Chains A and B, each alone.
Chain A
Amino acid sequence: MNSFVLEVHGLCKKYGHQLVLNHFDMRVQQGSIYGFVGENGAGKTTLIRLIAGLDFPTCGKLSLFDESDPRILRRQRSRMGFLIEGPALYLDMTARQNLEMICIQRGIPDKQEIDHILELMSLKENSNKKVHNFSLGMRQRLGIAIALLGEPEFLILDEPINGLDPTGILEIRDILIGLNKRKGTTILISSHILPELENMATHYGFIHKGRMLQEITAESLAKKCRQFVLLKTDNKEKAAAILEDELHSHEFDVYPDGSIHIFDLINRSEEVAACLTTHQIAVKEITICGERLENYFKNLIGV
């Protein structure tokens, strides 16, 4: 059985002469937290609007939970929660009334869920306050609360931490990770701020100018972005032996060009150099290398 909640093949979206999505492909695995990364204007929100049924693709295919027929696709959306370009709220009503309203619209009979969600999003104390008096961060929390109502199987959040303070960002991150772990909720988070995704995403998709550049698991990305000590000596075999015997390193790779990448002595490069010199091995070069996620993305899009 297919384990993808979202599959997009060759999707295009044109506004006038501007091609916003250009034969776009994407697959979101069930149970994953998918970090959807791209610059402003790359086409992230356009894709999300197409998934939400707020706009129509010019060409291509989109399936949700293995269904691509437009009528069934519409019904599949009732299994999803969305936060698109900020929260959709009734400003002249209270936070609780907003949630009650959404419960009515979605046919959620359990009103206790409202209390649970208000508690979860730290909005309980302000639940009877009119939303037009809410700060940007509180509105964002309420928007996320609305997306979470009815325990959706697939949650799509477009820039969810906009307006949140640092504590709020951590709280939301923990809530989303908890949902993913406990209930197996698949989550797609779009963002142009990479550090917010780093400790959360299990998969990444990089979009640039309407095209999917790369889809990669967090594990593979971590390997690619991992920092290491780059060592170049006049005797790679002897250096490798010293690393293992004297410095007790277990994670290093020796390359044909003579360089050695050491992963577990990242903070001990001076000690490595001193040890090799003591054993009369000439150190030609010793530096710390590796990429952060931001640099990886920059290199990918060629900035």
Chain B
Amino acid sequence: MDSIVCAHIYRFAHSQVVKIFFSIYIIVCLLSLTSEFASPSDLLIQSLIDMSIPSLGLSIFSGIYIGTEFRNRTIQNQISHGEKRSSILLMNFLMLIIVFVVLVFIYAFVPAFLFFLKSGNMGILSGYEEYGLWPQYFTRLCIPATLLTVARASGLFIIPFLFKDTVRTILTSIMYSLVVPMLTQSDRFQYPYQYYWPGNIDISIDIAIVAISIIILFIAYYVALAFFKRAQFK
């Protein structure tokens, strides 16, 4: 299993395609800054819950990274060399989650950082910033929001292992990225000042959000495993 992790790290460091992808993604995030500046009061948290751009990014990434592995038969090569299918899936699944979190953070923090350079604050909820409630802001808002966004994107982590092909992975993932964000929008993080004004905090709901998000990710992994374990490779 360690060897799969090391191989991913090596590929990230040496693959031209991965470098080009992240460069283009950062440029897209910078371009989206114009619209983010329109409502700067809760810029960071709203970006963390907005999965549209990161999920479109992951759709392209999973197609060119995992889809290409299937098309070029490099994943098949690992199986034929005796690697466990469950290990291969787990490592790729976790890698996709990490990449997605990185994409979400790039999308949220790059505009927030530039906003900070311009205005001297991070564009977070004024109450939190004013009273110095940074730890609460990150633990009660940012972590649950990020986890919920990852859980909403869980279908994207399964799709490449169902289709095992670059083009079909990208197309299906893009359709998912267009439909799912609309159906699963969370007011709790979209309008956080209504729910999270300091002193008006219900911790059980946040714990529930974290727990449900993790359960959704587990279910997604086992669904992918059920398919991948029995998959026939060309």
Name A residues whose Cβ lies closer than 8 Å to a Cβ of B: 49, 52-56, 74-78, 80, 82, 84-86, 88-93, 97, 100-102, 104-107, 130, 146
User: Per a CB cutoff under 8 Å, which of A49, A77, A97 touches B14?
Assistant: A97
CB<8 Å pairs between A and B, sample of 12: A54-B80, A54-B232, A74-B82, A74-B84, A82-B80, A88-B72, A90-B11, A93-B14, A97-B10, A105-B81, A105-B83, A107-B3
Residues of A within 8 A of B4 (CB): 105
Do A82 and B15 touch across chains, with their CB atoms under 8 A apart? no
Interface of B is mostly: helix
- What's the count of A-B pairs with C-beta under 8 Å? 80
In the bound complex, CA of A88 to CA of B81 (Å)? 12
In the bound complex, CA of A100 to CA of B76 (Å)? 18
Do A76 and B11 touch across chains, with their CB atoms under 8 A apart? no
Do A92 and B74 touch across chains, with their CB atoms under 8 A apart? no
B31-81 residues with Cβ-Cβ distance < 8 A to A are: 68, 72-74, 76-81
User: Of all chain B residues, which has the CB nearest A93?
Assistant: B14
Write the nearest CB–CB distance from A42 to chain B, whole angstroms: 17
In the bound complex, CA of A52 to CA of B77 (Å)? 9
Do B17 and A52 touch across chains, with their CB atoms under 8 A apart? no
Do B72 and A89 touch across chains, with their CB atoms under 8 A apart? yes
In the bound complex, CA of A88 to CA of B78 (Å)? 10
Residues of B within 8 A of A56 (CB): 230, 232
Interface residue count on the B side (C-beta < 8 Å): 27
B187-228 residues with Cβ-Cβ distance < 8 A to A are: none
B81-107 residues with Cβ-Cβ distance < 8 A to A are: 81-84
In the bound complex, CA of A84 to CA of B74 (Å)? 11
Residue B233 CB within 8 A of the other chain: yes
Residues of B within 8 A of A106 (CB): 3, 81
Write the nearest CB–CB distance from A125 to chain B, whole angstroms: 20
Do A101 and B76 touch across chains, with their CB atoms under 8 A apart? no
Given A90-B72, A104-B6, A52 contacting B14 (CB threshold 8 A) = no
In the bound complex, CA of A97 to CA of B14 (Å)? 8
Residue B7 CB within 8 A of the other chain: yes
Do A54 and B79 touch across chains, with their CB atoms under 8 A apart? yes
Closest 8 A-B residue pairs measured CB to CB? A52-B80, A77-B82, A78-B82, A88-B73, A54-B233, A88-B77, A92-B16, A82-B80
Among B14, B77, B83, chain A packs the most CB atoms within 10 A around the CB of: B77
User: Of all chain A residues, which has the CB nearest B230?
Assistant: A56
Do A105 and B3 touch across chains, with their CB atoms under 8 A apart? yes
Residues of B within 8 A of A75 (CB): 82
User: Per a CB cutoff under 8 Å, which of A85, A86, A104 touches B3?
Assistant: A104
Write the nearest CB–CB distance from B230 to chain A, whole angstroms: 8
Residues of A within 8 A of B7 (CB): 101, 104-105
